[in-house]
Structure 1
């Protein structure tokens, strides 16, 4: 990493100690994302001895550093998990999680990308407001799409104030996060940042909007909390919400916080971001997504779990060849956790194919060139 890149980062962020193997480090609020189906008929978990096979795993082996970035425009200290690209002029994949999750939902995927590209493609995964270890210096209840988009834009402008020396961005968002990155893309381009592509994971506007009326009944089916973090991880694996136990052990503990109640009737760990509290924002997250995705002036890819049907706009766009679409087999809504290797293969190939096709930029070097 060049001195220029190091100075640009160190001037704006305070690096934290290396990530300890503690509960708090595994940051991902696994609240079922707006279009992720929840199992039904699940009562509260039974009190029992925690299963060590589902104990938390430290995030330290998946990212180079964990940092807090002060973003005054948003009144936030945003937690970021970061592995920089080998070259300052390289490409940085910016990952935004879905509702209720955190940046650690991309932990296993980030390690796969780094290994496959030998460090050429960097990774930056953030915790949105009211999620993970991001904290606020002012009221932060508003999770409307405009606020979330402004937060991401503010973060990138804080880290990379000079578009000319900033890395090329490859924007990746899961579910709600897909809406955020799609809306952030034109704002970055208007400010003269380089954007190689936009990747959206498992969200289609039509399906998401149709699912909204059913979300409260779906949320009724999950426990209010758990008596240990191991129980929380095990429940997510056993119900197939996350099919990769190792990923769940990294990401799930952070979706919970210790209960503030001394009552034995209240679970020891409760959800960090209660999804019902975000209900007033659900519609804003997904309305207009298809049109904005198709209008993005960068390479576009939509990756789905299973055979979720496209809405009319996306179907027409696909027939016109406006975006690449991939469907992963044997995964659920958390496809990036269920099969991080396959997803990394798809997106690394997408990056290699589009690294020279960047709006407003000519003579971009091939991957691996000096």
Structure 2
């Protein structure tokens, strides 16, 4: 929900689109060029099974809700991962493949995302998302779960904070929030509809969607894009093209609720806490806007780690993210 500027996304050795021609990969604007063998291979989808051991369908009792979850690892605490708006559980694929020797990793598709199906996929209110995660954890582990560390990116970071603040998950040992804080998130919401509208909306193939996400969209890591982007798409039969699985532009009424009051909730969570921030260019404004968190950090209430040379979705860039966890 807070993509980096297009200028930072150009792949090394290639010329990326400018802001003015950022729709160059939209099938509705420019007729697709025949894909070359090189581009088909370079941007071909990667299967989830190269990163996770199992894909589970978690049916919530007495409801029509079935949540998709990717799992890997057999020992250690459960690192329970929640993705950002418009992403999927596979945004944690690279990180999971490196954590699985020391932890059990679970990366679920939230409501309205990936392969999860619910009675109302457009209800992305923070209350509903929080209830969903608690229900999934209880369904998977019962009343006596193993040690759990919640990890949430962007919108998923807000959900993780709300889950921890509810104090309903037994044996919750830690909370890792990835690149989201109340002040900057709230300030960015006025721009989100424009950002969403400026995305390429339709793709003639999955390979083209992956290519756009690397050259003109929110990702620069090709491997992350190849494994995660397909799960964020659906095929539009009427237009004979691929489009986004999650219509974020239709969920605007819930955006404010994701982030309002988040700083106080984060600080009140009675577990060890880490806040991961991408880059250093926003730190001055961050300290100005997020006074409560600044004071909280000075008081030692949480650890803040700044990760340089990544985009907003930090977990999709780093090879050594497991060391932070």
Same fold by TM (over 0.5)?
yes
Please state if 1:126 is matched with 2:108. Answer: yes
Aligned to 2:34: 49
Q: Secondary structure at the match of 2:57?
A: strand
Deviation at 1:293, TM superposition (A): 0.7
Are the counterparts in 2 of residues 109 and 343 from structure 1 also a CA contact under 8 Å? yes
Counterpart position of 1:231: 208
Residues 165 and 265 in structure 2, CA contact (< 8 A), matched pair in contact too = no
How many residues are aligned here?
A: 297
1:36 maps onto 2:3 in alignment? yes
Partner of 1:19: none
RMSD over aligned CA atoms reads 1.6
Alignment of 1:1-370 (within 5 A): 33=1, 35-37=2-4, 39=6, 40-41=19-20, 42-45=22-25, 46=30, 47-50=32-35, 51-52=39-40, 53-72=42-61, 75-86=64-75, 90-114=76-100, 119-136=101-118, 138-163=119-144, 166-187=145-166, 189-190=167-168, 193-239=170-216, 241-261=218-238, 266=239, 268-307=241-280, 308=282, 309-310=286-287, 311-339=290-318, 341-347=319-325
Distance 1:343 1:320 in 2: 25
Deviates more, 1:67-76 or 1:168-177: 67-76
Shift of 1:84: 4.0
Question: Per-residue displacement from partner, 1:215-266 (whole Å, max 9, x unpaired)?
Answer: 11122221111111111111111136212111110001111111121xxxx4
SS for the counterpart of 1:124 is strand
CA contact (8 A) 2:275 2:305 kept: yes
- Are the structure 2 counterparts of residues 171 and 255 from structure 1 closer, same or farther at C-alpha, using a change threshold of 3 Å? same
In structure 1, distance between residues paired with 2:209 and 2:266? 35
Distance apart, 1:74 and its partner CA: 5.2
Q: For residues 64-115 of structure 1, what are the alpha-carbon distances to aligned partners after superposition, in whole Å with 9 as ceiling and x for unaligned? A: 10010101355311000011432xxx3100000011111000011100112x
Q: Secondary structure at the match of 2:189?
A: helix
Gaps of 5+ in 2: 7-18
Decide whether aligned partners of structure 1 residues 337 and 267 sit closer, same or farther in structure 2, where only a CA change above 3 A counts: farther
Q: Which residue of 1 aligns with 2:9?
A: none
Distance 1:319 1:69, change over 3 A: same
Shift of residue 271, structure 1, vs aligned partner: 0.8
The DSSP-based 3-state class of the residue aligned with 1:212 is helix
Q: Is the 8 A contact 2:275 2:302 kept in 1?
A: yes
CA distance in 2, matches of 1:243, 1:43: 17
How many Å apart are 1:190 and its aligned residue?
A: 4.1
In structure 1, list runs of 5 or more residues that go unmatched. 1-32, 348-370
Contact 1:226-1:269 within 8 A present in 2 as well? yes
1:44 Cα deviation from its structure 2 partner: 4.5
> What TM-score results when the alignment is normalised by the length of structure 2?
0.87
> Secondary structure in 2 aligned to 1:303?
strand
- 1:350 aligns with none
Distance in 1 between the 2:164 and 2:49 partners? Answer: 30
